[in-house]
Amino acid sequence: MTRSVIDPITRIEGHLRVEMEVTNGKVSDAWVSGGCFRGMEMVVENRTPEDAAQIVQRICGVCPVSHAHSSTIAAEHAYGIKISNNARIIRNILEGAQFLHSHILWFYNLAALDYVNPLNALKANAADAYDLAQAAGTSMNSDFVALQERLSNFADNGQLSIFSGNWFDAEDGTGYKLPPELDLICTAHYLEALQMQAKASQVSAIIGGKMPHVMTLIPGGTAFVPTDQKLDDLKYLVDEIYNWVEATMIPDTLAIAPYYIDALNWGKGCGRYVAWGVFENESMELADRYLPMGVIDDKLNLSDVKEELITEYMGHSWYKGEETYTSPYFVTEPEYTEYDVNDRYTWVKCPAYDGKPYEAGGLSRVLAAYKRNVPFIVEQVDGLLEALGAPGQIGVAQSTLGRTAVRQIETLYIAGLMKDWVAELCEAVKSGDSDYFREPSTITGSGTGFWEAPRGALYHSEEVKDGKITGYQIIIPTTWNLAPKNANGESGPMEQALIGNPVGDIEKPINALRTVHSFDPCTACAVHITEPATGKSFETVTSPWGVK
């Protein structure tokens, strides 16, 4: 048996363990374990829905707006509130800014280093890099010569700074395939992305008062009232972000993809998808959102969500009992036993839709929008498929490379919508519309907030009596994706996506890492691999600073 332990894998937030069994160079089984119990449902009990919208943001520092938003929608359904048009627009801008921050951060600063080797950029010819960038249609805002000097200084002093602790030498140095010039271009955009995701957070801070954990998103609407100066700031930032995203993200994706085209052949997962929809249109209907709701089965057929089909199974998670609960339910009883892949091995519950595992995330949203014929999404996805050499074959998006690539389409779509929403808000203010907040008609009721975080379908449900929460439930995107095996022994979406991944380096399974990052899990992770045919043992511990 060969076991490889890497702890932690960088570029993921939180605590995640992935254990894989490898047979004949491919993953034959996998177990995904979330290593952190939060219990936020228990924290908000006996508090007001207004308090809950602030507290649940603390689940995450990357997608706090989405948690506040979903919680607020649940409260508004319980209270019988329909928010104003101004509040709808402002919330869309606030949510859109967070999505742009997260998507830019994920693609360049979290996932890209599975494909891009900044050290290889030292071999590049800067002039050729400019020519390649022009041919690829991607931006050339950075000084490639100056960047090479900075990289050289990192390498010469033995400290690689932000590029430390990665697997650039995986598979005897053949795991990374880009030419030096493309590595140089993408490394430049990595550094630019650090600035652009910060600008997206500035938009959130203007509207939300600060970021992370905004203060103005409240049940009943918004506490943000735009001024001329703030609208001017929003327009400047949104235009700047759009211009960078439009010039950079999809061109970079198309430039990188041909070198890793084999990643279209693995990483599919369960092949079923949930998206609750995000960004409200004037109708406030889930199926009419700018990114609409959709449940997609394994034949890629689309249907509307039915809440009563959402369940969670406890039998392989560290909670009491082996029940399967139907949403909405309000039971959270943690009980840690031990890590045992044949019994209980994760803090993540096992959500299902109609009794089956479903994937959440950018791929799910794009597929739902594609199936509902959202014009921009259809046009861009069809163009991507053609560029990947698979015109009209939407099924190829069900892969590690497909999951990674389509999220850039969503990023550009949202960046364009942000320009529209800022213009819409300007017109509303100009017309004298000053309706931003509405009082509740009751303080007793129940409601569910179907929404999306950048990583996928987000569900908050609550019961309220006399203004106090008596029950609360949350199903976050990563819960869907990191679900353990269900009662029938069927693996969760990420576990299924890992099965079949080629493993060319048992000590640095780079393809498995690419698949994990394609889901953008909100966790930090340790990866464990077993190969029953051998008896070797290998272990390494890495940190972001390269310490071993």
What residues form the annotated binding site for Fe cation? 63, 525
Token digits of residue 427? 């017109």
Instruction: Enumerate the known binding-site residues for Ni(2+).
Output: 60, 63, 522
Tracing tokens 């031990």 back to the chain, one arrives at 338
Going by DSSP bridges, is the β-strand pair 16-23/525-531 parallel, antiparallel, or unpaired? Answer: parallel
From residue 518, give the alpha-carbon distance in Å to each of 114, 218, 275, 477, 503: 10, 32, 17, 13, 17
Neighbouring C-beta atoms of residue 99, cutoff 10 Å: 27
Q: Are 90 and 425 in contact (CB under 8 A)?
A: yes
Token digits of residue 198? 């910060």
* 145 contact partners, CB below 8 Å, separation of at least 6: 126
Spatial strand order of the sheet with 537-540 comes to: 26-34, 16-23, 525-531, 2-9, 537-540
Crossing angle, helix 126-136 and helix 144-156, to 10 degrees? 120
User: DSSP string of 42-60?
Assistant: HHHTTS-HHHHHHHGGGG-
Instruction: Enumerate the known binding-site residues.
Output: 41, 60, 63, 474, 522, 525, 528
Tracing tokens 């609750």 back to the chain, one arrives at 276
Token digits of residue 522? 């909100």
What are phi and psi for residue 480, nearest 5 degrees?
-60, -50
Spatial strand order of the sheet with 324-326 comes to: 324-326, 310-313, 350-353
User: DSSP string of 141-164?
Assistant: -S-HHHHHHHHHHHHHTT--GGGT
Q: Are 115 and 256 in contact (CB under 8 A)?
A: yes
Find the Cα–Cα–Cα–Cα dihedral 498, 378, 63, 227, rounded to 10°: 170
CA separation for the pair 528, 199 (Å, rounded)? 37
Q: Are 531 and 506 in contact (CB under 8 A)?
A: yes
Q: Are 184 and 121 in contact (CB under 8 A)?
A: yes
CA separation for the pair 305, 317 (Å, rounded)? 25
* 355 contact partners, CB below 8 Å, separation of at least 6: 311
Going by the DSSP 8-state scheme, the letter that residue 324 receives in this structure is E
Crossing angle, helix 64-79 and helix 85-104, to 10 degrees? 150
Exposure of 282 in the CB half-sphere (CA atoms within 13 A): 3
Instruction: Enumerate the known binding-site residues for Mg(2+).
Output: 41, 474, 528
Token digits of residue 400? 């590690």
What are phi and psi for residue 147, nearest 5 degrees?
-65, -40
Crossing angle, helix 510-518 and helix 400-430, to 10 degrees? 30
